[in-house]
Amino acid sequence: MSRPRPGRWALAALPLSFLGVFFLWPLVSIVWTGLAPGGVFDPSAFGKVLGNGSLLDVVWFTLWQATLSTALTLVVALPGAYVFARYDFPGKRLLRAAATIPFVLPTMVAGTAFLALIGPNGALGVRLDGTVTAILLAHVFFNYAVVLRTVGGLWSHLDPRLEEAARALGASRWRTFTSVTLPLLRPAIAAAASIVFLFTFTSFGIVLILGGAGLATLEVEIYRQTSTLFDLPVAAVLAILQLVGVTAVLLAYSRYQERNAVEQSLRPAAETSRRPRGARERVMVGGVLSSMALLLGAPPTVLVQRSLSTGDGWGLGFYRALGEQGRTAAQFVDAGEAVRNSLGFAVAATVIALVIGLTAAAVVSAGRGRSSRWFDSLLMLPLGTSAVTIGFGFIVALDAPVDLRASAWLIPLAHSLVAIPFVVRSVVPVMRSVRARLREAAAVLGASPRRVWREIDLPIVSRAAAVGAGFAMAVSLGEFGATAFVARPDTPTMPVAIFRYLGRPGEINFGRAMAMSVILMVVTAAAVALIERFRAPGLGEF
């Protein structure tokens, strides 16, 4: 193991301090609030929650809907992963990028899109809002790209000659898949399943919009207990239960990967894919792509259609209504201000995420030991923690020594916590590919560490940093869970504005929600295009 460069852990002080103040301390505060609601340790606080039947129903619903959502997503998305891994066809790269857009869409946009499809006066003529079916469909739509990218990414590198050999020995297609392909794909399937489960277990915006009053996940109940019932101890206990569940999933996934890792020879994706041969393969590829386009394309398409369909016919009436100034009782929020706030917060969150993320990536890439792995895992924790818990933690913890709870800076700080892991994951592989001899040669010639970074590392990692910045921008623009806690009435963001419009009566407010969702969708799609434009080889699928 190579010795770390001098000053490496001094460099780690910045990201460690940031995570300590804005992530670990809020989590500790939540735990203390739950176990000591009156300032005195009281473990019976858990009994009050676990003895409440309605709250237990929330826990049970959160668990089983996440399990079912994960299973359905795997079943629906695996055929798409196979087609993209094994076949080559025109527009493949563009379709893969388009399939990623639902994953980075703000949950408020996804929920609003399904309202336009299966909500009141929905395009399908079937009203499913307020049902589990609507939530499951939206979760599959939202997480399809996770399976497509994660499983399809590994599948595209598997040697197809293994399958061909099994077929030549008389194995059926199904036997070949279950005996040869599936064991090799299990690590990727487990990774995708764990990601989907975490996202659906901590689902907030989609359940809040589509679930109605009768269906609530832990996220939604924490929000209700805090903002409506003002019962912080109950909300804290629910947040602790959620943290325990998330931690259990992460530990189970880590243990599974250690036990089931498979060494195998991988081949370049260009050598494992081919054009469809014969009518059967063309029909299969066409059918999978058509179903994928219907599932992923219908909600955004109907959303755009509903935003243009006014009471007076087709037009931009709802978009013009967004430009009306002031906060009348009907409008409830200044749309222009919401757009400006979202863009400003996104820029601030991106800058914070880049500064902290690049510093942390330099620390991680400089070492290979156990300390580096622990530090890397710590950086990933915010990604596995619900945004609602982060926002709730800010409210509970950041009142001393300086009360920051009324500060607008809490919004980009909360957003950056979720964005930092994307920056680290984008930059670390590239930093590790930089040859140490280049840095050593520059140092021998008299270059200072700062100049070595500026002249050697920065030009190489700039493309990866741009990818991380694109992810940070997309995450910040669409974040709603934490923002719902820390946003002040005079600092609404676009997701908050959409939620407020949906909560007001009248066709004009519903139309405003649709129009604002389309604007947010377009801006997010632009961020995805930026990611694809600057993606460098070897950065991985996400």
Write down the pLDDT at residue 223.
81
For residue 212, what is the DSSP state?
Answer: T
Confidence of residue 348 (pLDDT cuts 50, 70, 90): very high
Residue 12 φ/ψ, nearest 5 degrees:
-75, -10
Write down the pLDDT at residue 502.
79
What is the average pLDDT across 483-490?
Answer: 78
Q: Let me know: does 210 contact 111? Beta carbons within 8 Å.
A: yes
Distance of CA 327 to the CA centre of its chain: 32
Confidence of residue 6 (pLDDT cuts 50, 70, 90): very low
Task: Answer yes or no: is pLDDT of 341 > 70.
Answer: yes
What letter represents residue 393's amino acid? G
Confidence of residue 121 (pLDDT cuts 50, 70, 90): confident
* Three-class secondary structure of residue 277 per DSSP: coil
| Most confidently modeled range among 106-110, 290-294, 392-396 | 290-294
In this chain, the answer to whether the domains covering 53-260+275-315 and 316-542 adopt an identical fold is yes
Q: In angstroms, rounded to a whole number, what is the distance separating the alpha carbons of residues 22 and 350?
A: 16
Q: Average pLDDT, whole number, for the chain?
A: 78
Q: In angstroms, rounded to a whole number, what is the distance separating the alpha carbons of residues 2 and 72?
A: 45
Q: Within 10 A of 380 (CB to CB), how many other CB atoms are there?
A: 14
User: Residue 206's closest CA among 112, 131, 279?
Assistant: 112
Write down the pLDDT at residue 541.
45
**Which of 23-32, 79-88, 166-175, 205-214 shows the lowest per-residue confidence on average (mean pLDDT)?**
166-175
Helix, strand, coil percentages (3-state) for the chain, rounded to 5, are 75, 0, 25
Q: In angstroms, rounded to a whole number, what is the distance separating the alpha carbons of residues 334 and 323?
A: 8
Residue 313 φ/ψ, nearest 5 degrees:
110, -160
User: Residue 396's closest CA among 321, 485, 332, 280?
Assistant: 485
Cα dihedral sign for 75, 76, 78, 79?
Answer: positive
User: Residue 291's closest CA among 68, 70, 80?
Assistant: 80
Q: In angstroms, rounded to a whole number, what is the distance separating the alpha carbons of residues 346 and 204?
A: 20
Q: In angstroms, rounded to a whole number, what is the distance separating the alpha carbons of residues 272 and 250?
A: 32
Write down the pLDDT at residue 491.
80
pTM comes to: 0.77
Comparing 433 with 320, the larger pLDDT belongs to 320
Task: Answer yes or no: is pLDDT of 449 > 70.
Answer: no
DSSP secondary structure string, 142-196? HHHHHHHHHHHHHHTTS-HHHHHHHHHTT--HHHHIIIIIHHHHHHHHHHHHHHH
CATH class of 53-260+275-315: mainly alpha
**pLDDT digit string (tens) for 35-81?**
776 666 666 667 777 777 888 888 899 999 999 999 999 999 999 88
What is the average pLDDT across 510-522?
Answer: 85
**Which of 9-18, 135-144, 345-354 shows the lowest per-residue confidence on average (mean pLDDT)?**
9-18
Dihedral (Cα; 385, 389, 394, 395), 10-degree rounding: 180
Task: Identify the residue whose tokens are 């379709």.
Answer: 95
CATH number corresponding to 316-542: 1.10.3720.10
Residue 344 φ/ψ, nearest 5 degrees:
-65, -45
Task: Answer yes or no: is pLDDT of 540 > 60.
Answer: no
Q: Within 10 A of 437 (CB to CB), how many other CB atoms are there?
A: 8
**Cβ-proximal residues to 182 (8 Å cutoff; 6+ apart), any chain:** 189
* In the chain, where the domains are located: 53-260+275-315, 316-542
Reading the block at residue 76, the tokens are 């629906």
**Cβ-proximal residues to 289 (8 Å cutoff; 6+ apart), any chain:** 80, 83, 89, 95
**Which of 240-249, 352-361, 369-378, 385-394 shows the lowest per-residue confidence on average (mean pLDDT)?**
369-378
What is the average pLDDT across 484-494?
Answer: 80
**pLDDT digit string (tens) for 453-479?**
666 666 667 777 777 787 788 788 888
For residue 87, what is the DSSP state?
Answer: B
**pLDDT digit string (tens) for 201-254?**
888 888 888 887 678 888 888 888 877 777 777 877 888 888 888 778 777 776
Report the percentage of the chain scoring pLDDT > 70. Answer: 80
Write down the pLDDT at residue 538.
42
